[in-house]
Each structure stands twice: as C-alpha cells, then as structure tokens.
Chains A and B, each alone.
Chain A
Amino acid sequence: MLEVRDIHVEVEIRRRRLKVIDGVSLSLARGETLGIVGESGAGKSMLGNAIAGMLEPPLHIAGGSVTLEGRRIDDLKGEELRAVRGRRIGMVFQDPLTSLNPLFSIGDQLVETITTRLGIGRAEARRRAIALLEATGLPDPAERLGHYPHQFSGGMRQRVVLALALCLDPVLVIADEPTTALDVSVQAQIIRLLDRLCREHGSAVILITHDMGVIAEATERVAVMYAGRIVEIGPTERVIRAPRHPYTRGLMASIPPIDRRPDRLAQIAGSMPRIGTVLPGCPFSPRCPSAVARCHEAIPALAGGNGHLAACWLDEAAS
C-alpha cells in the first residue's frame, strides 16, 4: 500500500548540500504497524515528514519516490498535496500540549476539519466528532466538545489529537513520538488506544519512537535507523530477540534491566556522526565494537532473508 523507494532528503545550508536521509526504502501493507526506532538525529522524524509531504523548506526530497495506493505522492504540490494530508495520511505529533490551537474549542477544531475536508454539514460533523471522541475514551464527549485545550490533561489532549488525526479516515497514520511528552502512566494507554483506533479504522501506522518498549508493545515490524539510513528492518519480535546489526544490539543492551540496578547503565560508546559528515564506510563503524577493516571502506547494503534485513558486513547475509 505504501512504497518508499530509495528516498533522499537534503538540506542546503551555506551552499553545502547536507544529506539528512540517505536512501531509505520500505514498504507497508494495509493495516500494518511499522515502528521506526533510533536515537535523536537519526532522521526518524524527517522520514515521517518526507512521507507525509510535511518537510519544511529548506529541507526537500532530493531523490527517490513515495507511492501510496499506487499513486506517487512525493512530487505533489499545492491543492493535490493538501488533498492527501489528513485524508490519506494522518499525523500525530509529539506534544499534545502544543498540537491543539489554544483559542478554539476542541469541537470547533474537529468539526472544522470534518466539514471542510469531507464537505458534510455541521450537525453531521458534530455527530461524527462526538463518536470519535467517544471511541478515544474521552468521558462526556458531547459536553466536552465545547471545551478548550487548556481544560484537558496531557493524556486527554493526546486523545483529542488522535481523534483529529483519524477524523478523515486516513489509510496511513504517522505518529511521531506520540507518547514522549506524556506522563509514563499514560503512555501505555495512548499506545494501546492508537493501536486499537487504527485497527478499527483499518489504517496502517508508522510509529516513530526511541522507546524500544513502545516498539515491542505496538508494532509488527520495526526499522532501526542510524544516521539517515535503515540499518536493520524486520519483524519486531525477531529484531528484538535476535538483532543482527551491532547498533540494534547496542540499543537492546542499553535498555535498563528491571530485575537489578546496575551501577552504570550500558551505553553505546561515542556519538552519531554529525549531519554532513561523509564517511566512506558504514556510518556506524567509528562506534562499532566489532568493526573490521572492510567496515571503514565500503557501505554495506541491507541484506537478509525472511523479511529480516540488516546492513552490516559482519552479518552472514552480507558476505
């Protein structure tokens, strides 16, 4: 249903073209949930924005294609792009506190979106808005329609945001760190809600997060990103149980154990190369504990069977 092929995102700063996303390909079946995980600056959000056509200049797609339900959407502009936004691809942003316009009631924002995009009357739109809020588990939706964002708690606001993202029945929802800004006690609820709502609406989900717990809970497949590339992609369970890329192994190892309290938390030594750094070899090689000479010389491609691919010279599939 969604086909991203060799997408490149660049930004031009002081006449230098910097690569932010460097050749990412992935595909998504109808109703499937894909997680994208990686540390800050790996390009997760950029990828989400690139797919949704939400890149802000000077960021732009410099190559590759995005196809949604057989139609290319990466080169759309103006009205055509607007027709895709919300209606085909819904987005959920990180911070529910700032995602809602503080000066309009939540009902106003929902009804406005539904009437302008679906061309139906206010009364009908209102009924839909109430039903949507009801489905998100918001108590007294009919009454709370007239309330303003500041009158809701963070978790409740994210429910409203979910209702807004789903109110046009998109085939794909891109959720960019939807729980990061929330209280830990609410995170699991929101993730489960996102999962259930998208199932009900038949929407596929791209869930962007740096939280492996969220990935394990809510996704069927996961893509691990590092320095603008996918370094490993596969069914979530297999990637978590048997990671094939040293970076994924590092990520897994840095999850604090719950049964004991180590003196030091495990971490991956070093930091990600800065944007614009061009390495001849694997971008992870400077930090990789098991790197060999070849790793510093050439960039490995994604390889592997059974839908579990890794980009590593040390992985048997590559050699």
Chain B
Amino acid sequence: MTRLLPFMLYRLGQGVLVMLVVAFISFSLFTHVGDPINNMLGEEVDETYREQLREDLGLNDPVPVRFIRFVGNAVQGEFGVSYRNSIPVAQLFGERLPATLELVFAAAVIALALGIPAGVYAAIHRSRPSAQVIQILSLIGISLPTFVTGILLIYVFSISLDLLPSFGRGEVVDLGWWSTGFLTASGLKALVLPAVTLALFQLTLIMRLVRSEMLEVLRTDYIRFARARGLPDRLIHFRHAVRNTLVPVITITGLQIGSLVAFAIITETVFQWPGMGLLFIQAVQFVDIPVMSAYLVLIAFFFVVINFIVDILYHAVDPRLSGTLSDGSGKGMP
C-alpha cells in the first residue's frame, strides 16, 4: 500500500486541474452568453447607472482577476444569485440536490443489485432459455429511450393501475440540511417509478457488461485449473470468476453513476421530480446563467469524485495495482 498515497495525491491533482478547466468554461458562460447587467436591470435603465453597477460588481476587472474571484467563490459554494428565482444559487441547489441524489442513489442501487446478479446468471447458464430471455429483455431495455420507458411506466402504473403517483416527490421529511423522501410512505411510493426509469438503461448495460466479462473470465486458464482441482462450481463462479469480472465492471459502473446524475434531467422532466435536472432545464429556458454554470461545475465535481473513488476501488480489488510489485519479483528468481 506504500505507493497508494502518492498515486492518490497525483489523481487528486488531476481532479483539481479538471475542475479548474470546467470552472473556466462555466465562468466563460457569464461573459459570452448574454450580459448579466441586462439580465439584472432590464433594458430601460440609464447607461451611467449600468456602468456604476458594472464597476461595483467588478465586471470591469481583467478576466484573470474575475476568474480567480469566481473560483474563490465557487470553492465556498458561492455561485451568485439565480436570475429567475432571485435567491442564491447555493440555497436553490441545497433544496434541489437531495431530490436528485436520492433518485440517483435509488437508481444505482436497483441497477447494481439486479444488473450484476442477472449478468452473472446469464453467463453461468448461457445456454438455458431463461438466460436467453434475460439477454433479449436486456436488448429491449438498452434500446428504449428513457422518456419512453418513463411514459410507459406512468401509463401502466399510474393511469391504468393507479398504484403509484406519476409526478412529484411525495411528502418529504426535512432534516435541516437535507430533505428526504425515504422516510415517508408517499415519498417512497413517488420514488419507485422515476428510480426504475432511470435505472433501467444502466441495469441492462451493467448486466450485459457483466455477462460478457464473466464469459471471458470463464474461459481463462485459471478457471480451467480451478476446475481441474475439483473446486465446486459455487466457489469457481462466485469467488474466482466474479471477482475477476468486477475489475472492468467497476470502471464502467463508476462512470455510469456519474451519467445517472446527468441523465436524471430527462427522468426528472418526465416525472416532474423537483431535482437538479428539472432546475437545469428551467434555467436553460430562462438563460439563468448562474444556475447553469453552477450546475456544470457540480456535475463535473461528481464525475471527478466518482472517478477518484473508482481508482481507489480498483486498488482494493486488484492486488497487481497495490504497488507491492517491487518487493517480490526480484527476490524469488529461480
């Protein structure tokens, strides 16, 4: 584990670099998309007053100074005031973020909890009809666009069967800094359809990935050797093979969880889920630059954090990456 720390620092440095680039892009939104003064004051205000405000807000400062100020504020979670809602973006996000994160969390749990076992099953019993049914269903799941699945689910479970609500988040319990729908019956019921909709694509993707990786692993020499030693199938499949399957699956899954946050836009729109995605769509319609730029930074931040976690997980699963290379191979030469 001795080499893990420098590696982590290195990746952390890369993450900071990525965040700076993204920050610059989202900072550029302010200067290139519309004029913030216009947005704040409208058209009918006197030019001298405009200039005064421009000066007061520091908009006449050179770009590097303004960028550093932007980053400084962003680090403290300060992204200015929403043009549309006239409340600080940070506060707006604070209200919306829990909704999105809970949705993404539920979707990720569904996708992983069903996708990995289904993939393993389809690989182990690849000639069984049930495995082939899974494979065909997964094709459907991977080809259906999210909004179609969402609307179909609403039609079946809300309109026809009247079992689950079709929009909103239900009752929410406020924990001060976090509002959760996990604690109320209506909150949980409202979560089902959007979470399933968001999870479906990822579920099928993970399932297909696990299946093909697992098939690959089952053909390797070390699995053959394990069979030749008479180890029971249960051990060979669920210990030897699954663990080797997970190495590549972790990367893809990590990235997919990042895109769950991004994909949530569509699901949130379909289900009127009061989360970040819906906020972003509305921000785009109103050219609400502070919200858009903050959203961009936040999503990038999620991706960076997830990639970082994936790298660490990699090291936890695969001993070849643990940096012990140097203390073994030299000594035991025959």
Residues of A within 8 A of B (CB): 52, 54, 82-87, 90-91, 93, 95, 98-105, 112-113, 116-117, 138-139, 144, 147-148, 150-153, 155-156, 159, 161, 164-165, 168, 186, 189
A150 CA / B324 CA spacing, docked (Å): 10
A95 CA / B220 CA spacing, docked (Å): 11
Closest chain B CB from A196 CB (angstroms) = 15
Jot down 25 A-B pairs with beta carbons below 8 A, ordered by A: A84-B230, A86-B230, A90-B229, A91-B225, A93-B225, A95-B221, A98-B220, A99-B225, A101-B226, A101-B240, A102-B222, A102-B318, A103-B244, A103-B318, A112-B235, A113-B231, A116-B235, A139-B332, A144-B328, A147-B324, A147-B328, A152-B332, A153-B334, A156-B332, A161-B225
A140 CA / B222 CA spacing, docked (Å): 24
A67 CA / B240 CA spacing, docked (Å): 31
Residue numbers in B under 8 Å from A152 (CB-CB): 328-329, 332
Q: A91-B229, A147-B328, A153-B334 are in contact. List 9 more A-B contacts (CB 8 A).
A: A85-B230, A93-B225, A93-B228, A103-B317, A116-B232, A148-B319, A148-B320, A152-B329, A186-B334
A274 CA / B230 CA spacing, docked (Å): 33
Residue numbers in A under 8 Å from B318 (CB-CB): 102-103
Residue numbers in A under 8 Å from B333 (CB-CB): 153, 155-156
Residue numbers in A under 8 Å from B325 (CB-CB): 150-151
Which residue of B224, B230, B247, B320 has the most chain A CB atoms within 10 A of its CB atom?
Answer: B230
Task: Check if B125 is an interface residue, CB within 8 A of chain A.
Answer: no
Closest chain A CB from B219 CB (angstroms) = 9
Q: Is the CB of A86 within 8 A of B229?
A: yes
Closest chain B CB from A184 CB (angstroms) = 12
Other-chain contact of A153, B229, B232, B329 (Cβ < 8 Å)? B329
Residues of B within 8 A of A (CB): 220-222, 224-232, 235, 239-240, 243-244, 247, 317-320, 324-325, 327-329, 331-334
A156 CA / B225 CA spacing, docked (Å): 17
Sorted from nearest, which 8 A-B pairs have the closest CB atoms? A151-B328, A155-B334, A85-B230, A86-B230, A86-B229, A98-B221, A91-B228, A148-B319
Q: Is the CB of B229 within 8 A of A168?
A: yes
A186 CA / B334 CA spacing, docked (Å): 7
Q: Is the CB of B228 within 8 A of A86?
A: yes
Other-chain contact of A151, B221, B222, B324 (Cβ < 8 Å)? B324
Closest chain B CB from A146 CB (angstroms) = 10
Residue numbers in B under 8 Å from A156 (CB-CB): 332-334
CB-CB nearest in chain A for B243: A103
A91 CA / B228 CA spacing, docked (Å): 6
A156 CA / B333 CA spacing, docked (Å): 7
Contact A189-B222, Cβ < 8 Å, known A84-B230, A85-B227: no
Other-chain contact of B224, A54, A82, A83, A189 (Cβ < 8 Å)? A54
Q: Is the CB of A113 within 8 A of B244?
A: no
Residue numbers in B under 8 Å from A99 (CB-CB): 221-222, 225
Residue numbers in A under 8 Å from B319 (CB-CB): 102-103, 105, 148, 150
CB-CB nearest in chain B for A186: B334
Q: Is the CB of B329 within 8 A of A164?
A: no
Closest chain B CB from A299 CB (angstroms) = 33
Residue numbers in B under 8 Å from A148 (CB-CB): 319-320, 324
Other-chain contact of B228, A54, A101, A150, A151 (Cβ < 8 Å)? A54
Closest chain A CB from B249 CB (angstroms) = 13
A94 CA / B262 CA spacing, docked (Å): 48
Residue numbers in A under 8 Å from B229 (CB-CB): 85-86, 90-91, 113, 117, 164-165, 168
Closest chain A CB from B206 CB (angstroms) = 20
Q: Is the CB of B320 within 8 A of A102?
A: yes
CB-CB nearest in chain B for A148: B319
Closest chain B CB from A79 CB (angstroms) = 9
Residue numbers in B under 8 Å from A155 (CB-CB): 333-334
Q: Is the CB of B227 within 8 A of A100?
A: no
